[in-house]
């Protein structure tokens, strides 16, 4: 891997071929999120999504935890996110550049390499990725109601869609912590792997995605996202409109030729 430019050492950016890797880098605080980290995470997600050479994005944490949530130590000290109560918040909020919104809106596939505990905001961040590979030591902790808040970063929208209303209600209302195997049983993670193999397995999955036609993968993700909010008739119409430019792409021609020639395709994203 080679380091890319980051304006904040608390969010590391690396490249592994066609895969961009974002690492939350506050291991001494279990990667608890600061205000500066929020802005940098959004910036790097957008930059990787706009990089035509990046075909998948992996998000993970440094050290023994993925993300302990918003930094409560800073908040209680009056200097962090949520400090000062309602009086510190503006009358209107613009969340278009917030990481959960950016993560939901980008077309590049995202994978969470869940390397340890993910609590509160960290759980929402993990669930906001398209796929999740969990280390055996990983946990998802829905600690929101235990801290006097609710899942503020997409969890109330994502979790019921992943596990259904009743199970989501049980997890959120009780503030329950789920181990890696429980997460797999509920369908919250794609697979569980030994801790020492987490990045190897995650990058293998990312490269399997990256080997396919990037325009087609991105269009499929875009249509899946749109399908969450529209009826079938509207959806198939939008899919057809997405299909037309793909038919005109060089990658479509390469996909057909490589199939007929019984060889591995070489997609260019054009």
Q: What is the CATH number of domain 2-210?
A: 3.90.226.10
In the numeric block, which tokens belong to residue 239? 């899919």
Closest CA to 268 of 210, 221, 219: 210
pLDDT at 151: 86
In the numeric block, which tokens belong to residue 90? 């503006």
Assigned CATH class of 214-260: mainly alpha
Could you identify the residue written with the tokens 């590979």? 133
Across 27-50, average pLDDT = 94
Looking at the chain, the whole-number percentage of residues with pLDDT higher than 70 is 89
Across 145-163, average pLDDT = 90
d(CA 233, CA 251) in angstroms, rounded, equals 28
Place 2 in a pLDDT band, splitting at 50, 70 and 90: very low
Strand, coil or helix: what is 66? strand
Quickly count: other Cβ atoms within 10 Å of residue 164's Cβ: 12
Q: Is the dihedral of CA 72, 80, 123, 19 positive or negative?
A: negative
Across 187-206, average pLDDT = 98
Average pLDDT value for the chain: 90
What are the domain boundaries of the chain? 2-210, 214-260
Reading phi first (left if > 0) and then psi (alpha if -120 to 50, else beta), residue 250 is in: alpha
pLDDT at 62: 96
Looking at the chain, the whole-number percentage of residues with pLDDT higher than 90 is 80
* CA count, 13 A, side-chain hemisphere, 200: 5
In the numeric block, which tokens belong to residue 159? 């979790």
Residues 111-140: tens digit of each pLDDT: 999 999 999 999 999 999 999 999 999 999
- List the beta bridge partners of residue 132: 112
Sort 255 into a burial class: Cβ within 10 Å, 0-12 / 13-18 / 19+: middle
Place 71 in a pLDDT band, splitting at 50, 70 and 90: confident
Place 6 in a pLDDT band, splitting at 50, 70 and 90: low
- Is pLDDT of 269 > 50? yes
Q: What is the DSSP letter of 116?
A: S
Residues 220-239: tens digit of each pLDDT: 999 999 999 999 999 999 99
Sort 208 into a burial class: Cβ within 10 Å, 0-12 / 13-18 / 19+: exposed
d(CA 172, CA 160) in angstroms, rounded, equals 10
pTM of the model: 0.89
How does strand 11-16 pair with strand 19-24? antiparallel
pLDDT at 3: 44
Strand, coil or helix: what is 129? coil
Tell me how far the alpha carbon of residue 33 is from its chain's centroid. Answer: 15
pLDDT at 153: 87
In the numeric block, which tokens belong to residue 207? 């490269």
- Is pLDDT of 76 > 60? no
- Is pLDDT of 75 > 70? no
Residues 77-95: tens digit of each pLDDT: 555 555 444 445 555 566 7
pLDDT at 70: 86
């Amino acid at each position: 891997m080679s380091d890319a430019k980051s304006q904040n050492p608390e969010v590391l950016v690396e490249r592994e071929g066609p895969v961009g890797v974002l690492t939350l880098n506050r291991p001494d605080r279990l990667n608890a999120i600061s205000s500066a980290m929020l802005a940098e995470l959004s910036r790097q997600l957008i930059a990787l999504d706009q990089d035509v050479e990046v075909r998948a994005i992996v998000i993970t944490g440094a050290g023994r935890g993925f993300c302990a949530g918003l930094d409560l130590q800073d908040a209680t000290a009056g200097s962090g996110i949520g400090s000062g109560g309602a009086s510190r918040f503006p009358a209107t909020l613009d969340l278009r550049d917030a990481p959960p919104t950016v993560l939901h809106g980008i077309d590049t596939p995202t994978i969470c390499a869940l390397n340890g505990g993910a609590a509160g905001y960290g759980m929402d961040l993990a669930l906001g990725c398209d796929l999740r590979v969990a280390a055996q030591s990983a946990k998802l902790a829905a600690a929101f109601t235990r801290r006097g808040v609710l899942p503020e970063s997409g969890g109330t929208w994502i979790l019921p869609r992943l596990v259904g209303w009743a199970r989501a209600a049980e997890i959120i209302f009780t503030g329950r912590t789920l181990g890696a195997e429980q997460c797999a049983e509920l369908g919250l993670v794609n697979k569980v792997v030994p801790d020492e193999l987490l990045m190897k397995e995650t990058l293998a999955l990312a490269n399997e995605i990256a080997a396919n036609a990037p325009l087609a993968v991105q269009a499929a993700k875009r249509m899946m996202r749109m399908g969450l909010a529209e009826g079938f008739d509207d959806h198939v119409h939008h899919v057809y409109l997405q299909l037309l430019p793909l038919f005109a792409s060089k990658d479509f021609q390469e996909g057909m030729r490589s199939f007929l020639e019984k060889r591995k395709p070489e997609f260019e994203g054009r």
